[in-house]
Structure 1
Amino acid sequence: MKSRFFYLFLLITIYTSCSSSEPVTEPEEITIDIYFPPGNSETWETKTISSLGWNENELQPLLDFLEEKNTKSFIILNEGKIVVEAYMNGHDESKPWYWASAGKTLTTTVSGIAQEEGLINLNNKVSDYIGNGWTSAPLEKENLITCINLLSMNSGLDDSIGDNVSKENLQYAADAGTRWAYHNVYVKMQDVIAQASSTNWSNYFNTKLKDKIGMSGAWIQNNDFSVYWSNTRSMARFGLMIYAKGMWNDNQIISEAFLNEATNTSQNINKSYGYLWWLNGKESYHLPASQVKFPGKLIPNAPDDTFAALGKNDQKIYVVPSKKIVVIRMGDSASNINFALSSFDNDLWEKLNAVIK
């Protein structure tokens, strides 16, 4: 009985103190001060490793590792400011390089913008925008494929035929939504946006994204689809806009709600995949050209909240909100040719952790 009355007294005391005439202090709102470089200027403010309390002695081993692994350029941003910027193996800050499949996330972002403008609805079927017969699948199967399926890599189209996205190569393998497979068919979203906006893909991309955040670069034709090329700082600008939850200065380029959706699991097959973004910290993952489910995290050495744009031959954008950083890597393949994830990701994060921890 004694303990019962004690707890009753304690509850009354807490209630009384909270209900007194004394004003209750609201928790202080925590704001993140993000720096955005001006226009498409070369001016970009910096921070030092020492000011962040990072381990400066581990920077040179990181840079040596990057150079040895065929890297051409590397940037670390902290809250938008450059902490590390390095060029190697004959590259420099003015030279463009290809994003490969890291550029898929550009298509994701512009798709979200087009939806917010009311031009498209990502839940609609692809044929609503580009007409019937864009695949070789039976019409009833083609009409199961939505724009979301293209962004989630679960269109059900056969990924074993090759990179070509002509009608003849887009063949039925399974019903949309039932099979995850890494496939270049995502580029049909660019056709959807071009049709819905009554312009071409490059013009819409330039107006709605590239020009607004001061990127350089262009879409260069590669067989029957385009690959984005730019200098490294332009890739960093895009990564920064994503880190800033879709903001650039005072402008909301893409909604935070859409980015949250895009950078979380998009389907139940590959837990580590959003809308063309790779996600760390999940219980399992799939890899390109495989139907095998691998247990564990995508990049064990990286923070769990890391999400990434990953491209062929180790083109990388890592966004890590918990560390307030964006990391960019461009170059040739670190080891063997790969389409997205490679052993280099985990090895690189081992070296990164030695610097930033």
Structure 2
Amino acid sequence: MRKSKVIIVAVILLILIITGYLERYGSERVAKGEKEETSELILSELHTVWPTEEWPTSTPEEQGMDSEKLVELFEYIEQNDPRQLHGLLIIRNGHIVAEKYTSPYNEKYPHNTYSVTKSLTSAIAGIAIDEGIINLNDRVLDYFPDMTFENMSEEKENMTIEQLLLMKTGIQWPEWDSEESSIQLFRVWDNSKSLLQYYLNQPIIKEQVGEWNYDTGAPYVLGAIIERASGMTLNEYGKEKIFDRIGMDSLEFYVTNEGIAHGGTYSQMTPRDMARFGYLYLHDGKWDGEQIVPKEWVKESLYPHTEFDVYDYDYGYYFYLNESENGRLFSARGAGGQWIIVVPELELIVIETGRSFERISLNEYILPAIKSESPLLANDQAYERLKELSEKQK
């Protein structure tokens, strides 16, 4: 009898302890506004494929795609100067379903991605802000107290990190005025003794502060700020916080003659590592159960801070944003046809290097190739033809 009473008391105490725990920590979660994960989200996370070592491969049909449509794409490439395209990689549901390169390029060849670099710098900035070493409202020139700059003004003194991310500094920078002005600008800038000094010497046009102007100098300065704030190079900081953790082993930032890693252009990596970065952002900054880039930063980076009437895209923090019949898509883009294209609703990533076939390949072939969220019946003949075209190089 006494033994039964002891057991009953123990059970009651256990219930009280559990209830108290739930009241305390459960209420804290509600107070913080955190959402409970649903069983569906947990199940989805469990079924996500993570390319921890290598990207898994699959037939298109196994991922709900039509091999015949992708054969049409590869035949189009063969018939229309294939050397314009250096590499094409199509990933759905975490599986490579098609891949094609032209010689000397292949899946292990690091490619110059040009302004895709800007999107990498955006991710690094998100980590630095989350760690508290920089802030969006920080004044840019406060990070360079040892330097003096020409054409000083109140607007230049108050230039912020967020203005760099938005490309709304008002700095006189004719990068997109014309092809001729862009070539001339980069010829002078790239050969200057200090790219940082050259950029921050430029006058600010007061009326253009707050207006978007495409500007590779802005992410260069942002990269320099992160280097000074972290005490590490952009390469070191980015790899430690993000890129090594998701297996982007081929990535290297270009280092200028003043010893600063270029946050705006010239980074090199393989197409498969470009896809890893796209996959990270497809999953809101999470990788294999670990939050690498803060989810809120990913959301903020992909928000249309600048909306255009004259272009077919909007702009976030160094990301291009589009709406399509398949929902929103976002991309990192570089000169000469370097693309990381992500279509979240379709679990689709498209990587292109070389001279871009983006509009043709994506809208006329790749998106129409998606037929279902479930596997399709096998099409061995079309898949064999697709493999044959994949292996064919010119």
Identical counterparts, % of pairs: 28
Shift of 1:27: 8.1
2:340 matches 1:317: yes
Shift of 1:220: 2.5
Q: 2:225 aligns to what? A: 192
Shift of 1:242: 0.9
Say if 1:71 and 1:89, in contact at 8 Å, map to a contact too.
no
Q: 2:129 aligns to what? A: 115
Structure 1 length-normalised TM: 0.77
Inter-partner Cα distance in structure 1 for 2:322 and 2:340? 13
Q: For residue 305 of structure 1, give the secondary structure of its aligned residue in structure 2.
A: strand
Say if 2:163 and 2:210, in contact at 8 Å, map to a contact too.
no
List alignment gaps of at least 5 residues for structure 1.
1-25, 282-299, 335-343
Say if 2:304 and 2:315, in contact at 8 Å, map to a contact too.
yes
Report matched runs for 1:127-276 at 5 Å. Answer: 127-131=141-145, 136-160=150-174, 162-163=185-186, 164=189, 165-169=195-199, 170-174=202-206, 177-185=209-217, 186-215=219-248, 216-221=250-255, 226=262, 227-267=266-306, 272-276=314-318
Inter-partner Cα distance in structure 2 for 1:176 and 1:104? 22
Inter-partner Cα distance in structure 2 for 1:44 and 1:168? 42
Q: 1:51 aligns to what? A: 62
2:374 matches 1:351: no
Say if 2:49 and 2:93, in contact at 8 Å, map to a contact too.
yes
Shift of 1:79: 2.5
Q: For residue 129 of structure 2, give the secondary structure of its aligned residue in structure 1.
A: helix
Aligned Cα root-mean-square deviation (Å)? 2.5
Q: For residue 108 of structure 1, give the secondary structure of its aligned residue in structure 2.
A: helix
Shift of 1:134: 6.5
Query: Which has the higher Rg, Structure 1 or Structure 2?
Result: 2
Q: For residue 218 of structure 1, give the secondary structure of its aligned residue in structure 2.
A: coil
Going from structure 1 to structure 2, the CA distance change for 1:234 and 1:208 (only over 3 Å counts) comes to same
Structure 2 length-normalised TM: 0.70
Going from structure 1 to structure 2, the CA distance change for 1:274 and 1:53 (only over 3 Å counts) comes to same
**Higher fraction of helix:** 2
Q: 1:20 aligns to what? A: none
Q: For residue 123 of structure 2, give the secondary structure of its aligned residue in structure 1.
A: helix
Shift of 1:218: 1.1
Shift of 1:269: 6.2
Inter-partner Cα distance in structure 1 for 2:280 and 2:172? 34
Letter in 2 for 1:184: T
Q: For residue 206 of structure 2, give the secondary structure of its aligned residue in structure 1.
A: coil
Say if 2:170 and 2:204, in contact at 8 Å, map to a contact too.
yes
Shift of 1:191: 0.7
Say if 2:306 and 2:314, in contact at 8 Å, map to a contact too.
no
